[in-house]
Structure 1
Amino acid sequence: MMMRRIACLATGLLLSACGPGSSPRPIASEPLTAPPFIGAAATAIPFAGSAPEHPYMAAAGVGGMHGDGFSSGVHQVAGPLGVNPQVVSRIGSRYPGGMCATVTFDRGGRLVALCASLLGFELQLLQPRSLELLASYQLPGRPSTFEALVKRDSSIIMTDTSGGAYFYLDAQDRAVLVDSRQRLQRIGHRQLESGQWEFYLADSWALGGDHVPEDCMNWNNWFPQGECDPVTAVMPDYSGNIWWVTRKGRVGTLNPDSGQIAMTRLDGEEIQNGFSVADDGVYIVSDHALYRMRAMADGAPDIVWREAYDRGSAKKVGSINQGSGTTPTLIGDDYVTITDNADERINLLVYRRTGNSKGERLICRLPLFDAGASATDNSMIGRGRSIFIENNHGYSNAMKQSDWSAISGGFSRIDIRADESGCNLVWTSPEKSPSVVPKMSAGNGLIYFYTFATQENGENAWYLGALDAETGRTAFKIRTGAGRDYDNNWAPISLGPDGTAYVGTLKGLLAIYDQDVNPQLSSAMQLCGGAGSGYKTAALDRACAHFWAARISNLGLGF
């Protein structure tokens, strides 16, 4: 699932208040003794497969936490190859906290990121690579933050995935999210005549009241008597309806043209993951079952089929609830995959998406990793007939983790057999990737993960690592910094249109990229993606938009 411990906001009181302006304030690192680079520069070998496009979302690979509507975890561009790697860091918030949970990219290549602080989430518009702040938009604080502070229980925050982290960027570059006040919003950004940028509220709909209970503990409501049910995630279907799910099993749609809202409820079930969409329906996993749904003529969610899974006898260390920790990943036109929560070893489950409510859909149930050391809280990568998954067993969160030897590690590739008779384990890497949402670069065939090495001084040095998707061999690791502030704490890796890898950390955001060796590409990157408050002329803006559109499509403009 992914960014479940999105922000340790209550414990953010322990962090120093920070005030990054437009220029990034770097994240401070503990002393470094670990090597800055391990391995060797890789050679790009593209990984075959098609990219799903969605008519109501930004281009594939740039529009959400998991990259696209399929939650494939695949970016089309070629990410870093480890050629003279550069690392830029930015403290993510002017207030205590700072973690940047989700990163998307507009058609100009700029980052639209959601960062957290003690006062709430904030949308930020950032220049690529330089991480210069162009604009920001404050969202209200989450009730769970206030409740955690009052009750002195940070687990209240750690089990709350609401507030906007599962937002998406639509086809008009607007961030679509539900904030902590149960308002579904579309927030755009634009450049002013002065050259400065701003966010603006394009649309807003209230989901509270009759649809989503919002009697939540907060600074103005110390003793709530009713129900509080925050919205977890939003995503559009292929008809343009905006779907939303809540923690306590409510599933709804909103027609943005008419404002009509329709809803159903999965009684006794929780939804703490994101969900996925294709032209054949909406795929949602609760803590009991996987669902395929569709919208009826009036927008009402309708269950096409339901597949219960082994939810185990209890939730595992670091899990939110007793259920699957994965957002459903759609693969091609035929398959959907999740994991269960079986006690000794979780299982990879692959289902056919077609079939009626009584059809046999399960293709394989494959045990993963070692007995007693098997858990994942992140969505899988799906490309072609291949599935890639990491083991998160032994990790809790950046503020509480003390026993790093408890991290079991493991990263596996599983392929669906062509005759659909089952699945094969292709390889398993021993690399330890405690909590990051990993991503594939289809452009170079590398799987990016985030790992650590404990130094002699006891502090962890953190690395962006890359696995060869074909063989599972570790290609290289790039050191980013040392100490708790560099812990990834469940945020994703995101690959920008220029190939830069972005990693959210407890304190902010990292940009990791190869030093460009092509002078023509370097000049274009400096012109369209370097420091500055915006493009100076309309003609340059159009040129740079064309440049970034080509990079997003991996056409390269000849570079």
Structure 2
Amino acid sequence: MDIRNSLERSKKTVLASAVLSASIILAGCSTNDVPAVIGDAVKATPLSQDQQPDNPWLAESERSSMHGGSYNRNLSTYPGPLGKNTETTHRVFSRILGVAPNISFDSKGRLITVSIKFTGIELHLLDPDTLETIARYDMPRKKSRDNSGGGYFHLDNQDRPILAPADNTIKILELDESGEKPEWVVAEEYSLEGVMPEGSNIHDIMPDWQGNLWFVTSNGHMGYRDKKTGEFFTYKMEEEGEVIQNSFSVDEEGVYIVSTHALYQFQIDKETRKPVYTWRQPYNRGEEQKPGTLSHGSGTSPTLIGDDLVAIADDDYPSTNVVVYKRNKDIEGDRKVCEIPIFEPGKSATENSLLVHNNAIVVQNDYGHVYSGNALETSPGVTRIDVREDRSGCDVTWESNLLSQSLPRLSTATGLLYFYTFKKQNDEDRLGGWYLTALDFNTGEEKFDRLIGTGTGGMLDTLSSVTAPVVLGPNGSAYVGIRTGVVAAADKE
């Protein structure tokens, strides 16, 4: 009990220090207008439901992972805020570094997220309204500067996080609520000793339709653990310097992985049980890595459209392109359906998954984004592209000059796209506002902004973005993982 009280006092001290530091920073800034409310509240305009199949080994798509299930469509049937008396909350994990890139929800509507700190990575179960920690699990500090160590995770069909900490294991955790206080415990653990060369750090892991656990690493290795036998099978990307820096997608037919050089469909060879690619599609990645990206190659996790297509954004110059391919193993004709350039030439990049609803794709610009925290460097741009029903090509439906600091989330219940943005009223202003911003999905029209908090948008701003997605909860709140923790916005009646 004394230890718990000590930890509570430490937490309050950290929060007080964060507030004091912010006050000192803001006191040195010239005052200017930062409106709390921009635009009127709106009425919901529901959209048709996107019939995305749920992976049978994962929780429902809209709550199982940061990109909305194994199809990576980044949409939700949960309602988001409509701008009516919107209130906000900021949970600080660390005012220096407490990155929370991944948010999901258990079947009781509670948040599950990670906090990536200098000292290690923590898995948190949070109250969805107060954002206070209900249970925490500590993982080792990762030594590599990639996405490994447990930052990515997925909830299985028993609400259990599947992750790979920096201790050379795969773990499945479950919540034990039998005692006085809930706690995370290890339900399953699989050693990776001897499976891959040293330095093959897993940065995402997800089951296929048969329950085999597939994984990717940042040094070009990938593979899976056979659910029936427990045996591991791996594959090494073949080209010089070819690595994997993103998550992947899964459907009934296969696993879709984008490397820094090509997009693949993988299946399991029936005789050898090894992972083999059934098709490989190289894409244009330009001559050099762009500012705002984490690798010289596509920054997107593949997103599945309908039952026949897969889409990525390449890394071409002068413009990144949204590229759509036929995804099935056996096809007729060319695999490429379309290639559409996006955003201003020379200032075009994306380092996030695409959003898909039916045949529509929404993509935001990340060119110039500084992940250590500088919203002032990001270039504007959000575009909607629609794939034609007959698969003869794609067309741009609308373009917006919105400057986004997050991957958006679409609510089919409200018809709104939700973004995390930073805005100043005038370029010369020292202060600006971090907002939950809503766009009309059908037209791209900006509907409203609701203030999350005030800041400079610079390196010391505690509200700075890591371009993590906006995530909608069952309670109608919108959540965003940021550099120091989690922020939430909810309408209050």
Q: What is the TM-score when the length of structure 1 is the normalising length? A: 0.80
Q: Does 1:164 align with 2:150?
A: yes
Are the aligned partners of 1:232 and 1:247 in contact in 2 as well (CA < 8 Å)? yes
| 1:356 Cα offset (Å) | 3.2
Query: Displacement, 1:370?
Result: 1.3
| Corresponding residue to 2:249 among 263, 268, 276 | 276
Cα 1:135–1:347, aligned 2, differ >3 Å: closer, same or farther? same
Work out whether 1:233 is the aligned partner of 2:216: no
For residues 359 and 181 of structure 1, what CA distance do their matches in structure 2 show? 46
Q: Is the 8 A contact 2:292 2:350 kept in 1?
A: no
User: In structure 2, do the counterparts of structure 1 residues 39 and 133 end up closer, same or farther at CA, with 3 Å as the change threshold?
Assistant: same
Which piece of structure 1 moves more, 352-361 or 46-55? 352-361
Which secondary structure state, in structure 1, belongs to the residue aligned with residue 114 of structure 2? strand
Q: Secondary structure at the match of 2:63?
A: coil
| Matching residue's letter, 1:367 | P
**Structure 1 pair 472/328, CA: closer, same or farther in 2 (3 Å)?**
same
Distance 1:70 1:197 in 2: 31
Name the amino acid aligned to 2:36: P
- Change in Cα spacing, 1:384 to 1:56, as seen in structure 2 (3 Å) is same
1:346-365 equivalences under 5 Å are 346-356=320-330, 360-365=334-339
Q: Which residue of 1 aligns with 2:280?
A: 306
CA distance in 2, matches of 1:19, 1:414: 49
Do structure 1's residue 177 and structure 2's residue 167 form an aligned pair? no
| Aligned equivalent of 2:190, options 202, 205, 229 | 205
Give the deviation of 1:460 after TM superposition. 3.4
Give the direction of change, closer, same or farther, for the CA distance of 1:460–1:265 in structure 2 (3 Å limit).
same
Contact in 2 for aligned 1:64/1:167 (Cα 8 Å): yes
**% identical equivalent positions:** 37
CA contact under 8 A between 2:383 and 2:400: conserved in structure 1?
Answer: yes
The CA deviation at 1:459 is 3.2
What's the CA shift for 1:165?
A: 1.8
Cα 1:120/1:423, change in 2 over 3 Å: same
> Pick from 215, 235, 254: which aligns with 1:264?
235
The residue that corresponds to 1:378 in the other structure is: 352
Checking the alignment, whether the CA contact within 8 Å between 2:116 and 2:151 is kept in structure 1 is: no
Q: Which residue of 2 aligns with 1:480?
A: 452
* Aligned residue pair count: 465
Which of these residues, 436, 442, 451, is aligned with residue 464 of structure 1?
436
Look up the SS of the partner of 1:34 in the other structure: coil
Cα distance change, pair 42–52 in 1 and its aligned pair in 2 (3 A): farther
Amino acid in the other structure paired with 1:238: W
- 1:324-403 alignment to 2 at 5 Å? 324-356=298-330, 360-399=334-373, 401=374
Amino acid at match of 2:453: G
**Contact 1:26–1:90 at 8 Å: present in 2 too?**
no
Q: Is the 8 A contact 1:305 1:357 kept in 2?
A: no
Q: CA deviation at 1:117?
A: 1.2
Distance, in Å, in 1 between the alignment partners of 2:386 and 2:432 is: 34
| Kept after mapping to 2: 8 A contact 1:72/1:329 | yes
CA contact (8 A) 1:249 1:265 kept: yes
User: Deviations for 1:312-362, whole angstroms, at most 9, x for unmatched residues?
Assistant: 100000222210010000011111100111110011100111243895211
* Residue in 2 that maps onto 1:74: 75
Where do 4+ consecutive residues of structure 1 move more than 4 Å? 23-27, 29-32
Shift of the alpha carbon at 1:511?
Answer: 1.3
* Letter of the 1:492 counterpart: P
Unaligned runs of 5+ residues in structure 2 are 1-7, 27-31, 456-460
CA contact (8 A) 1:24 1:90 kept: no
Q: Deviations over 1:429-473 (max 9, x none)?
A: 110013x12211111111111111236651332111111000100
Aligned CA distance change for structure 1 residues 295 and 485 (closer, same or farther; 3 Å): same
Aligned to 2:4: none
C-alpha deviation, 1:408, in angstroms: 2.1
- CA shift, 1:190, in A, is 2.4
Q: State the distance in 2 between where 1:231 and 1:346 align.
A: 27
Indicate if the aligned counterparts of 1:411 and 1:429 stay in contact, CA closer than 8 A: yes
Is 1:118 the counterpart of 2:110 in the alignment?
A: no
SS state of the match for residue 61, structure 1? helix
Query: Per-residue deviation at 1:24?
Result: 8.5
Aligned to 1:150: none
Query: Does the residue aligned with 1:20 lie in a helix, a strand or coil?
Result: helix
Of 251, 268, 279, which residue of structure 1 is paired with 2:222?
251
Cα 1:250/1:473, change in 2 over 3 Å: same
Alpha-carbon separation, structure 1, partners of 2:258 and 2:9: 38
Matched, 1:454 2:420: no
Q: 1:497 aligns with which of 474, 479, 492?
A: 474
Output the CA distance in 1 between the equivalents of 2:489 and 2:300: 26
Structure 1 residue matching 2:462: 3-state secondary structure: helix
Check 1:359–1:166 CA distance in 2 against 1; reply closer, same or farther (3 A cut). Answer: farther
1:20 has 2:14 as partner: no
Aligned to 2:388: 417
User: Secondary structure in 2 aligned to 1:377?
Assistant: coil
Structure 1 counterpart SS, 2:222 = strand
Cα distance in structure 1, aligned partners of 2:218 and 2:296: 13
Q: Contact (CA 8 Å) 1:182, 1:212: kept in 2 or not?
A: no
Contact 1:492 / 1:503 at 8 angstroms: preserved in 2?
yes
The 8 Å contact of residues 293 and 367 in structure 2, kept in 1 or not, is answered as: no
Q: 2-side partners of 1:464 and 1:189: how far apart?
A: 31
Pair 62,122 (structure 1): closer, same or farther in 2 beyond 3 Å: same
Q: Is the 8 A contact 1:51 1:76 kept in 2?
A: no
Alpha-carbon shift at residue 88 of structure 1 (Å): 1.0
- Asked if 1 retains the 8 angstrom alpha-carbon contact of 2:293 and 2:366, the reply is no
Aligned equivalents of 1:300 and 1:121: distance in 2? 32
Aligned-residue offset at 1:213: 2.4
Report the CA distance shift for 1:19/1:274 in structure 2 as closer, same or farther (over 3 A). farther
2-structure distance, mates of 1:25, 1:192: 34
CA deviations on 1:127-168 (whole Å, 9 max, x unpaired) are 111112111000100013xxxxxxxxxxxx3xx111122210
Q: What amino acid does structure 2 have at the position aligned with 1:271?
A: I
For 2:298 and 2:435, locate their aligned partners in 1 and report how far apart those are by CA, in whole Å.
28
Taking a change above 3 Å as real, the CA distance of residues 208 and 18 of structure 1, as seen in their structure-2 partners, is: farther
Cα displacement (A) at 1:18: 9.5
Helix, strand or coil: the match of 1:184?
Answer: strand
456-465 or 499-508, which moves further after superposition?
Answer: 456-465
User: SS state of the match for residue 201, structure 1?
Assistant: strand
Is the contact between residue 355 and residue 361 of structure 1 (CA under 8 Å) also seen in structure 2? no
